[in-house]
Structure 1
Amino acid sequence: MDHLPAAIAKVLEPFAPVFRRPTWKRARRLLVGAILSPGARTVAAALRTLGLEHGRGFSSYHRVLSQARWSSLALSGTLLRSLVAAFVPADAEVVLGIDETLERRRGERIHAKGLYHDNARSSKSIHVRSHGLRWISVMLLTPVPWATRLWALPFLTLLTPSKRSCETRGVRYKPLGHWARQAMLQLRRWLPGRRIVLVGDNNYSTIDLLARAARHRVTVVTRLRLDAALYLPAPAREEPGRLRRRGRPPKKGPRLPTLKARLEDPSTIWCRCSLLWYGGGTREVDLLTGTAVWFRGGLPPVSIRWVLLRDPLGKFEPQALVSNEPDLTAEQIVGYFLRRWQVEVTFAEARAHLGAETQRQWSDLAIQRTTPALFALFSIVTLCARELLGPNPAPVRTAAWYTKPEATFSDILSLVRRSLWRAAVPPIKRRSVDNDDVVLIPSALWRRWEDLLSFAA
């Protein structure tokens, strides 16, 4: 399918310079095939969907992922700039979410796999560990025209090899905080003049990350341990009426009580606020906030604002949040952190509708490229829908037993698929001469649909 709708071709055009011309032609076919395919997103499934299963050069499509020279990082930067231009006003801050997910894979030829805690299969009382690949994904948290809730749009996904695989190959192991630091520095290069807010979970609550982010003018919002060592700012080097002290200047002042002690202290004065909560509703919570210096030996001190959050009804456990921007208010920090939940929604949608975890590549390079491409497909479909809809509302699939108030990703994916099928060659005749209700479909296209539907899982 080389004839694409003008709106979809406009979205894909900025990615062409990253590839050589023959590679881009095959990569674009694979992308369209991945959008149209049901079930598993393999190269073979994409070729069958496009009617190319009998072509002699099928191996060249596999080499697009396993051998061809193109940069996933360059594509990520292009996708981020397209998303920001489409959904974020020029004077607005760019809010990004970062989180990790597990792709369950087994096999001796998958070198980067490890044994990790499986959040999707675990609960508070049951802890499940699964073999697979761990990925860090950075997503743009932004509103979209057809929904009231925010959407998380992936653009950068990084493979983080396990510690055992790094030891086997003789390379240095990097924890999640180091990967997040590298991603944050790359984000600053891609968006040099924009204000960036990076929201993460407790895996990214490290002093080093917050200090580097403050140095590069990136605001980080994440969780904080209740027993974290917090201090007053360091006293001035020279004070009036005092002799000058010898030695290095102090990095911190006296230690402050821990957040756990503040939480258990009955004399603590809380501020009750009504905040926007998950699902679009409001909820009353108790807040306590303050500024401090977070310090640990061997690391640079970082000025922070901490927020202690508890539920007056006791329905969730108290938790602490932290930001390297002391000028933020407690309500702003909590508001940024609540946006992070949309990242989990995108992970679930990518598995349900885009075939994440169904790919079957074995070479290291193909593995590093395929999963990020599937997550990025979520954002590409969203961009295509924006161009196709324009000012019009998005179609919503409803039923007598289910009234859906707004479009979800399944509706947006259906919209893009219908647009691609309508652009198929030869074209569909919308109306026959004898009957307005009859649509003439070319026999080749009908056989392709019949094959897809009859073998769909």
Structure 2
Amino acid sequence: MVILRNILSPLQQEFNHRCKGDERGAWFVYTLLAVITHFTSSRSANLLRCLQTLFGLSLSQRRFYIFMASSKLPWSRLWATLWSLIPNPATKGRLLLALDDYINPKTGKKIFGCAPFFDHAAKINQSKYPWSQNIVSIGLLKMVKGRWACLPLAFRFYHMKKTIAAKKVRIDGKIPPFQTKFEQAIEILPEIAATFPGTPLLIVTDSWFGNDGLLKPMRKTVGQHSHMLSRLRVNTTLFALPPDHQKHRPGRSRKYGDKMGNATTLASEFHERATTYSINLYGKQRDVLAFDNIMMLKTLKCAVRIVWVYRRSQWVALFTTDLDLTVEQIIEYYGARWKIEAGFKEIKQEIGSSKSQTRNCHAVTNHLNFCMMATTITWIYADHFDKTPQRCYAVNNRSHFAFSDVRKLITQAALNKDFVSFCPGSGKPKQNSFIDALLRMVA
């Protein structure tokens, strides 16, 4: 309970200087707890029912919906406060940030941010252009009690250029300017870098974001201490490092060395020279066959360290602009990138963001902010916990605790009778036999 109080108290204090700050601060804290509580999905009606039944808030439906659709919630300050509460955010002197986008399918028209976006992961019996929201998200990759986790930090709704041109998107009655996904990511990074000044950034992305469209504006905005780790395309042409310039030779120095070939041809050439490394990958210590070399990329116009990772019948080429990274770190950090995909599942399915039916611009944005902030708070709570949480349900080949296990611990702490003294509501929780039965079911 003390850990939960130390995390939520700074967030509640952000409302002290506002009108009715004590009341709204309590609503905000309890709404976050209602999202984390895993009795039902985080639809607005279910959240209100949880606030009234579990936490005893005498809050009317009208006032709650006005609060959830408010345009005056100080999300910028709240997120900055939460970022500062993350314990030991850096990994070996670097801030590992995972960047990716995902779609959030919806049903119903006139939902903010919705359009027929292309789904590259659609199955045969699914539509390739579902009615959905496209969200660009950045999360912090961090080791939490022996396992990698992705803590959501910020997001932006992506709107297609043709949708904005057709005037189908409005924010406060105004048509927003079009921004590419790269521009949205660049808009978020300076805010994160300002919270962690002097810490080098390592952006871990997939091959779609891993190009000069992100690296050049990122270094121009954040600084030269920002680097990229991504996957190399199989047809990318690689060059050797430029030779040393000879003083008496006319002309400028060469920027690139000799052409070495593309990633595919070099993969077969370097296979015999590969070395076995022991790496913490996907929750286990694994033996990985890999070969690394420093080469030049014309797409990035700089030297990069490239690592070919060989499996039984396939190979993967990874590259990074941070030449100080070792082969083990490159493979482990890129393997940890998959946690942002697991984080999308936690937000959409476990937290229940995909089941929300809010339509108003501010209501949709506030609800997603609540879901992402609740996810981050859950991982911060797990990191502060004295012992490693135990896994409630055994799964083959998995020994680490799950996201739902931490949610259960937070639920028990929030329903503790001493928690009301820290954040008093306007009523008493209705701890009847029905709620006790629910607690036993989810324990």
- Contact 2:304 2:323 (8 Å CA) reproduced: yes
Aligned to 1:36: 37
The Cα of 1:425 is off from its aligned counterpart by: 9.1
Amino acid at match of 1:345: A
- Give per-residue Cα distances to partners, 1:280-327, cap 9 Å, x unaligned: 1413323242221433xxxx723322223332x21xx32222211233
1:258 is aligned to 2:262: yes
The question of 1:225 aligning with 2:233 is answered yes
- 8 Å contact kept, 1:49–1:448: no
Q: Cα distance 1:229–1:393, how it changes in 2: closer, same or farther (>3 A)? A: closer
Q: Does 1:397 align with 2:392?
A: yes
**CA distance in structure 2 between the partners assigned to 1:8 and 1:199 by the alignment:** 30
- Give the one of 280, 285, 290 matched to 2:284: 280
1:132 matched to 2:132? The reply is: yes
Which whole-Å deviations, capped at 9, do the CAs of 1:27-81 have from their partners, x for residues lacking one?
2232222223522212221121122699574322222332241332332222222
Post-superposition shift, 1:244?
Answer: 5.1
CA distance in 1, matches of 2:429, 2:294: 69
Distance of 1:174 and 1:8 partners within structure 2: 37
Cα 1:352–1:46, aligned 2, differ >3 Å: closer, same or farther? same
Choose 1 or 2 for highest CA Rg: 1
* Superposition map of 1:4-403 within 5 A: 5-19=1-15, 20=18, 21=21, 22-36=23-37, 38-51=39-52, 57-83=60-86, 86-88=87-89, 92-118=93-119, 121-122=122-123, 128-145=128-145, 148-169=146-167, 171-214=176-219, 215-232=223-240, 239-243=246-250, 252=256, 255-265=259-269, 269-276=272-279, 277-295=281-299, 301-311=301-311, 313-314=312-313, 317-387=314-384, 389=385, 391-398=386-393
**Contact 1:231-1:292 within 8 A present in 2 as well:** yes
- State the distance in 2 between where 1:182 and 1:270 align: 42
Distance (Å, rounded) in 2 between the aligned partners of 1:361 and 1:289:
50
CA contact (8 A) 1:18 1:70 kept: no
Q: Which amino acid aligns with 2:192?
A: L
Q: Percent identical across equivalent pairs?
A: 17
Structure 2 distance, partners of 1:135, 1:328, is 30
> What is the rounded CA distance, in whole Å, between the counterparts of 1:128 and 1:279 in structure 2?
32
SS in 2 for 1:203: coil
Provide closer, same or farther for how the CA distance between residues 17 and 305 of structure 1 changes in structure 2, counting only shifts above 3 A: same
Partners in 2 of 1:292 and 1:11 — Cα distance? 45
SS of equivalent residue, structure 2 residue 432:
helix
1:438 corresponds to: none
SS in structure 2 opposite 1:150? strand
Deviates more, 1:364-373 or 1:57-66: 57-66
User: Given residue 81 of structure 1, which amino acid in structure 2 is its aligned partner?
Assistant: S
Is this contact kept in 2: 1:97–1:138, CA < 8 A?
A: yes
Q: Secondary structure at the match of 2:31?
A: helix
- What's the CA shift string for 1:167-209, capped at 9, x where partnerless? 2236543332332233333322221121222211112111132
Shift of 1:221: 0.4
Alpha-carbon distance, 1:362 to partner: 0.6
Change in CA separation of 1:281 and 1:443 when aligned onto 2, cut-off 3 Å: closer
Cα distance in 1 for partners of 2:273, 2:123 equals: 33
CA distance, structure 2, for counterparts of residue 54 and residue 186 of structure 1: 35
CA distance in structure 2 between the partners assigned to 1:328 and 1:56 by the alignment: 53
Q: In the TM superposition, what whole-angstrom CA distance separates every residue of 1:407-430 from its partner, at most 9, and x where no partner exists?
A: 322211111111222228999xxx
Structure 1-normalised TM-score? Answer: 0.79
CA distance in 1, matches of 2:295, 2:257: 13
CA–CA distance in structure 2, aligned partners of residues 59 and 250 of structure 1: 69
| CA distance in 2: counterparts of 1:165 and 1:408, whole angstroms | 39
Distance 1:281 1:90, change over 3 A: closer
- Provide the C-alpha distance between the structure 2 equivalents of 1:99 and 1:44, rounded to a whole number of angstroms: 30
CA distance in 2: counterparts of 1:51 and 1:322, whole angstroms: 52
**8 Å CA contact retained: 1:114, 1:164:** no
1:130 Cα deviation from its structure 2 partner = 2.0
Does the Cα contact within 8 Å between 1:49 and 1:452 map onto a contact in 2? Answer: no
Preserved CA contact (<8 Å) 1:199 1:220: yes
In 1, Cα distance between the equivalents of 2:194 and 2:156?
A: 17
> What stretches of structure 2 of length at least 5 have no aligned partner?
168-174, 422-427
**C-alpha contact 2:104 2:348 (8 A) present in aligned 1:** no
